[in-house]
Amino acid sequence: MAAPQLNSDSKYDDYDYPTTSPTAQSGHPGHTTPEQDAQVYQLRTQLEQAGYSERLDTLSMLRFLRARKFNVNLAKQMFIDCEKWRKEFGVDNLVRNFDYKEKPQVFEYYPQYYHKIDKDGRPVYIEQLGGIDLTAMYKITTAERMLQNLVVEYEKLADPRLPACSRKSGQLLETSCSILDLKGVGLSKISSVYGYVKQTAAISQNYYPERLGHMYLINAPWGFASVFSVIKGFLDPVTVAKIHVLGTGYQSELLAQVPKENLPKLFGGTCDCKGSCALSDAGPWQDPQWSKPPKWAGSKAGTSTTIDNEPSSTISTHAPQKEPQPSSEPQPARMGDQAPMG
């Protein structure tokens, strides 16, 4: 029996990393039905007729289709909304030129970072929500720049992080493993950050679908598991299986997914990167053996002005964010409407 492989399109598919998903899940690359392949063709053709010519590769088409349960019309509208937002938000210029020079100061309150890989080879994404203080943070940066940084990191997850991880593992990896540390999070803190977190949820759910592999909510406060048991009744069973709500005794389960040497000491691992794990950006995407220049670095340049404006009083978000739409998966907080509850 022939090995499964992606039903590719020579016009748009130019991959230099593996393109077959490691598990045989319906609708995933290398494991599609003839009907699903036809829906990819239908979606791409309709978007071409509507004037779109970028990001029409097969992997992208499949992610949008999976996010909308292979409803072509819904996937088409999701893609169009995404392209409209990308233009308004200036994504292509941001990923090339954004300079988040205040990151070390912001991370004193709200660390958000990618750090090495889990046992499946996926990038590990970590957020620590307990120290969030927006009043103090807005003296250092603005809500706009925080969202810009979020978007840039999503773009870098797609390329170069995931391609590098795919090359190293020898199989296609499209998702990350997220760790959300809820230590110190309570109801009083949630109310103050709800607006910002809701905006981040709109970005992640509407414009970066199908990026969640596993999510570990660690140091979950008392009562959170009960709240989540109600929430999960409204989620897709496939999504629920990806989410692990853990209290303070999380280490054994977390270490079953993330190698000890890749997990920061703070969470029970042995990694202690020089200068801090949070600022190291360590992973295969930094290794010349696996990393290659991202495609966006060599594509048409657009505006070349470096975006390193000093923080100001504005907290505009460039373009109005849509409400988070129903998705096949929640997102890190990034999680928005599903923000941690005390």
Which residues share a beta bridge with 123? 117
**Which range (138-142, 163-167, 194-198, 247-251) has the least confidence?**
194-198
CB 13 within 8 A of CB 57: yes
Chain centre to alpha carbon of residue 337: 16
- Picking from 162-166, 260-264, 303-307, 330-334, which range would have the lowest pLDDT averaged per residue? 303-307
The rounded distance, in Å, linking the Cα atoms of 44 and 53 is: 9
Q: What is the band of 332 on the pLDDT scale with cuts at 50, 70, 90? A: low
C-alpha of 181 from chain center = 16
Q: Which pLDDT belongs to residue 329?
A: 54
Alpha carbon distance 300, 246 (integer Å): 45
Note the pLDDT tens digit of each residue in 200-213: 877 888 899 999 89
pLDDT at 17: 97
pLDDT of residue 1: 56
189 pLDDT band, cuts 50/70/90, is: low
Closest CA to 203 of 68, 318, 295: 318
Distance of CA 141 to the CA centre of its chain: 22
Q: What is the mean pLDDT of the chain?
A: 86
String of DSSP letters for 45-82:
HHHHHTT--SS-SHHHHHHHHHHTTT-HHHHHHHHHHH
Residue 89 confidence (pLDDT) above 90: yes
Count the Cβ atoms, other than its own, within 10 Å of residue 231: 15
Q: Does 242 score more than 90 pLDDT?
A: no
* Among candidate residues 242, 184, 210, 204, the one with its CA nearest the CA of residue 334: 204
pLDDT recorded at residue 230: 74
pLDDT in tens, 278-310: 999 999 999 999 999 999 997 554 444 444 544
- What average pLDDT does this structure show over 88-117? 97
- Give residue 249's pLDDT: 95
pLDDT, position 305 = 43
Q: Which residues of 285-313 are buried (b: 16+ CB within 10 A; e: fewer)?
A: beeeebbeebebeeeeeeeeeebeeebee
Is residue 325 over pLDDT 90? no
Phi-psi region of 102 (alpha: psi -120 to 50; beta: other; left: phi over 0): alpha
DSSP secondary structure letters along 80-144: HHHHHHHHHHTHHHHHHHB--TTHHHHHTT--EEEEEE-TTSPEEEEEE-TT--HHHHTTTS-HH
Two structure tokens written together for 37: 């392949």
Per-residue pLDDT at 188: 65
Three-state helix/strand/coil letters over 180-238: EECCCCCHHHHHHHHHHHHHHHHHHHHHCCCCEEEEEEECCCCCHHHHHHHHHHHCCHH
| pLDDT on residue 82 | 98
With contact defined as beta carbons under 8 Å apart, do 134 and 198 qualify?
A: no
Most confident of 219-223, 242-246, 317-321: 242-246
Angle at 137 between CA 136 and CA 141, to 5 degrees: 135
> 16-20, 233-237, 319-323: lowest mean pLDDT where?
319-323
Q: Please name which of 275, 6, 231, 243 lies closest in space to residue 115, comparing C-alpha atoms.
A: 275
Omega cis (within 30) before 86: no
Sign of CA dihedral 48, 50, 52, 53: positive
CA distance 70 to 63: 9
The residue with greater pLDDT, 265 or 327, is: 265
pTM metric for this prediction: 0.86
Residues in the chain: 342
Q: How far is Cα 37 from Cα 44, in angstroms, rounded to an integer? A: 11
The more confidently predicted of residues 333 and 260 is 260
SS3 label, residue 145? helix
Is the Cβ–Cβ distance between 211 and 161 less than 8 Å? no
Taking only the tens place, the pLDDT of each residue in 256-284 is 999 999 999 999 999 999 999 999 999 99
